[in-house]
């Protein structure tokens, strides 16, 4: 799939896939900007990249497992959503879940981008919904494990 991009800063690093079968492309912090993320705080990380995601697709920004599990750094909004009509800079809102300040080195891989198709729904107000076995059972209603 072709995804066009613009470098908004000449130092920006193009997203890359770690392996042939990686679903997510690594997003990099903009080189030249070492950033301290204090314990419990959230910062916006610039990538210096703008994308043109094809119509019918969405860019989903997920945590990278290494820095999330080893350093407590993960997207503050859990999953970032980049709509196909957005043309601004891709930025990653990183939250430090650890108890110590963390430094994001310039050019560090900070998140991963998955491009995925989506379906657009038409919502209709109705008087009732079909009955199911589960019905209105919510969180934890289908079992204890």
Write out pLDDT tens, residues 36-59. Answer: 999 999 999 999 999 999 999 999
Q: For the chain, which domains are there?
A: 4-117 (2.70.40.10)
Give Dmax over CA atoms of the chain in angstroms: 58
Q: What distances in angstroms separate CA 118 from CA 55, 56, 124, one per listed residue?
A: 10, 6, 19
Q: What distances in angstroms separate CA 35 from CA 6, 12, 110, 117, 122, one per listed residue?
A: 23, 15, 11, 33, 43
Segments in the chain below pLDDT 70: 140-141, 143-145
Write out pLDDT tens, residues 3-18. Answer: 999 999 999 999 999 9
Task: Give the CA count within 13 Å in the CB-facing half-sphere of 21.
Answer: 0
């Amino acid at each position: 799939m072709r995804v066009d991009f613009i470098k908004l800063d000449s130092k920006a690093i193009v997203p890359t896939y770690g392996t042939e079968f990686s679903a997510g492309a690594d997003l990099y912090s903009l080189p030249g900007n070492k950033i301290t993320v204090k314990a419990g705080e959230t910062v916006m990380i610039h990538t210096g990249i703008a994308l043109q995601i094809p119509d019918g697709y969405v860019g989903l920004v997920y945590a990278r497992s290494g820095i999330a599990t080893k350093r407590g750094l993960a997207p503050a909004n859990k999953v970032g959503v980049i709509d196909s009509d957005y043309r601004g800079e891709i930025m990653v809102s990183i939250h430090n879940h650890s108890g110590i300040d963390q430094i994001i080195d310039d050019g560090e891989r900070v998140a991963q981008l998955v491009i995925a198709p989506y379906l657009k729904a038409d919502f209709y107000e109705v008087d009732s919904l079909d009955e199911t076995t589960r019905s209105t059972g919510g969180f934890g209603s289908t079992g204890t494990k």
